[in-house]
Chains A and B, each alone.
Chain A
């Protein structure tokens, strides 16, 4: 999965600083959103004549059942917690290469293909993607907490389902369900799918709240899943029955041991290590307990008998807690933990199912506006128009509860995160932060660029003076270089495409950076190799060795003919020259790891520089 790895250190200070700055700026905007909404709400309520603020929708409202409140508040808090985890400094660079890629590594090729697409997108725009994950998850969490009932509350549940599915597919590689070694003990079928289940329950209409059927279905579904997991856990040949296999750790022991190696508090690490040792010694017994507990809980849940379910649920909650601590390692340590893993959501779903089964059905009056559906479209559209009239809007705002205002603010948070990511996705090139992380920011300068008179790839004379009036993006490329220069050539070609609309005002120029292979044939072969011969404003210049050395010297560029089959020793630099022939920027153009994710970042940097100068002119 080449696209996911930008090759940068996950703690790269440039990206981390930029990520923190982005979060800070967006955090300030988030505060402003809530402040503006609050002020508007307070102001409108103050302006409304006394007695006019509405007191709520007509008809008696059903009280929110306890199971729903439990799901809404607990999963709201979990979403917020997950959002905060996404703000960890290593997330921006580390999530694709350290979380998504390893998770997908054992899945089938088609899963890897799907996941790679998302991972590559993240790698291209690490700040926007990282910040989007933070604000979307925090937004969903606040929305769930704030909206207790009504359409806004149901929409919050649906938002949880939507984002949960995205996380489950792209972040968790479908929860690993297509990978070998699937086990409930390690989080199958993926925490995000449980978030989706909770979101789906929250999104159910109020009429679904009123019967015990929902509780029965929830517990039956959970029971069926647990029974299936018990069968999978007991299946021979999957290695779960052996604590050790020869001199190697058994499947379960190996998994727990790997968890113990995750950076985490020493106490926790020691517990997990101890349990790994215990499993190695008593693998059969541990798996027997797991299989029996899963099977028993599953069967009891399927019976739908509260008297049986209650003790089973307590046992199940204890099992989940033990698994969470001793096997899943709490899930959120190490700097790249994205969530508290699956056991807490799993236990919450079980408890919610039990509450729905045993709780008193909510009593609610039928909505007063049943006859609305019988009204004609003219009447309905008339009412819609009425609602958007300024007076009606004021009235609606004044009537809104503080929870509704907070919900709207939360939706604003989600948009705040999603919009920059969506805009970044529209760009075909990676964020310039990657190039800056590799080579540092470009150095702004302003002095006359050294002139030169050389020959282009077609044998025509070209001088820097002849390009006056145009922005010159100048590079130095060795045509037979085997690593950096071809990557740089691709950056120039991509910059040419990005600047196609400004072709008449920008010239992409490279000077031969090889003192031996100076013939035109080398330039032409390089151009064909990198597809640069299709870039109309591309000039690749060469000359005699003496002429070239003069140019290299004038631009302060070292060249060394290395022995023993090495390529020419040279640096990787690019220069931005303005329309007056002044040098305006010096860029270190070393493509560094040269990964798929970093490549176009340099093209973006060149393009930005040219467009900045064009905007000034």
Chain B
């Protein structure tokens, strides 16, 4: 009798321990992780290419979405002034997705209103002239890195709003599915990460397609490379101090021969930001120091030529990390209306501030503690043209 009661007690205890997860913190369920995933940064961004620097901001200042237009500005290499180079022909109220393709830049139009597919335009002269490419017959995802061009072949990789990744060879008339969120999440690498959202696509310097997303399982950076038809996890190892937090890759891009990623670990007041760089297709990564985000998320993130990452938080503070092995540096309070930062040559940083149809460029020189207005561009917003 006593033995059977003891056996029952042991069984109950075992069951209780099993139900409690043996004292470990279980991975949050996918739905809970999705709910706590950091909001993606805005499409407002800047990136550096061989030809110069590009910056994209939304302008118009209207409460009506169809009266706000995304504007593309270019600062050619060696120049100090920005030019308005928004590609013509399509209403861009839904946003522009940029992809550097060698000397060219490809811009994908996110659909808006009754348009449901994504037109593509390309320029190879710093935006002075644009040519229309065949469209992507699907909506691009609302992510700054939803479009990527391969370094040599100029194949295009596109992330759609439904989590499908599509691939096309130049001319871009024929698109095929590379993978989907569901497929990738079902691979061993995806299952290990608990992948529940895709946030970015990129190519490695050697031309391997990369996918990035948000992992439900703590301590995993969801970056995957398509190596010989097999998706493999290739994200950086997360520091032990962050190993119990879910990680979201909020930006992933290839600039100047290396992959740069921005990762947010945790959420809410505990959210921290990491920049990561890889020069060898994701086999090895260098991580920046951890930056606490406080209550704010990342409003805009930008990438400079030498691996510089600059970002503005939703609470209005600005930080910059010049590259691997450098600490984050807090920038002076950005001018009102700053939509994005543009790291420039010589350690300068431009802040692009928007007020309705006017863009004001402020510059922060190295070693200075205040922003200096350098340029004002009045953009002829065509209010009502998309209404």
Contact = CB atoms under 8 A, between A and B. Distances in A.
B180 interface: no
Interface residues of B, number: 37
A565 B89 CA distance: 8
15 contacts: A480-B135, A481-B115, A486-B113, A514-B89, A515-B89, A517-B90, A517-B132, A517-B135, A519-B132, A521-B135, A563-B88, A564-B71, A565-B71, A568-B89, A569-B382
A272 B381 CA distance: 48
A521 B134 contact: yes
A562 interface: yes
A565 B115 CA distance: 15
Contacts of A529: 115-117
Nearest to A594: B114
Contacts of B379: 564
B93 interface: yes
B89 A521 contact: no
A203 to B, nearest CB: 51
B346 interface: no
Interface in A556-583: 561-569
Residue among A486, A522, A528, A569 with max Cβ neighbours from chain B (10 Å): A522
Contacts of A525: 117, 135, 137
B317 interface: no
A484 to B, nearest CB: 9
Contact of A483 (B86, B134, B386): B386
Interface in A465-489: 480-483, 486-487
Contact of A564 (B69, B109, B117, B173): B69
Contacts of B92: 565
B132 A567 contact: no
A391 interface: no
B70 A565 contact: yes
Interface residues of A, number: 27
Given A480-B119, A516-B90, 11 more contacts: A486-B115, A516-B88, A517-B135, A522-B132, A525-B117, A529-B115, A529-B116, A564-B71, A564-B379, A567-B89, A567-B91
A524 interface: yes
Contacts of B93: 482, 565
Nearest to B118: A525
B114 A483 contact: yes
B385 interface: yes
A483 B94 CA distance: 13
Given A480-B109, A564-B379, A522 B119 contact: yes
Nearest to B174: A521
Contact of B386 (A482, A486, A521, A561): A482
B135 A563 contact: no
B380 A517 contact: no
Interface string B118-139: 0101000000001011110100
A518 interface: yes
Nearest to A565: B69
A563 B382 contact: yes
A513 B90 CA distance: 12
A569 B385 contact: yes
B89 A524 contact: no
Nearest to A522: B135
B112 interface: yes
B84 interface: yes
Nearest to B95: A565
Interface string A507-546: 0000000111111011011001100000000000000000
B380 A482 contact: no
Contacts of A566: 69, 91, 382, 385-386
Given A517-B132, A518-B132, A480 B173 contact: no
Given A517-B90, A563-B380, A563-B382, A487 B69 contact: no
Contacts of A517: 89-90, 119, 132, 135
Interface in B281-319: none
A487 B115 CA distance: 10
A611 to B, nearest CB: 28
Contacts of B135: 480, 517, 521-522, 525
Interface in A339-372: none
Contact of B114 (A486, A516, A518, A562): A486
B123 to A, nearest CB: 12
A562 B134 contact: no
Nearest to A519: B134
Contacts of B114: 482-483, 486-487
Interface in B198-227: none
A567 B380 contact: no
Nearest to A568: B89
Nearest to A514: B89
B90 A480 contact: yes
A564 B358 CA distance: 12
Contact of A562 (B88, B113, B115): B88
Interface string A387-431: 000000000000000000000000000000000000000000000
Given A483-B114, A529-B115, A561 B382 contact: no
A88 B380 CA distance: 46
B84 A516 contact: no
Contacts of A519: 132-134, 173
A515 B88 CA distance: 10
B173 A521 contact: yes
A480 B86 contact: no
A482 B88 contact: no
B21 interface: no
B387 interface: yes
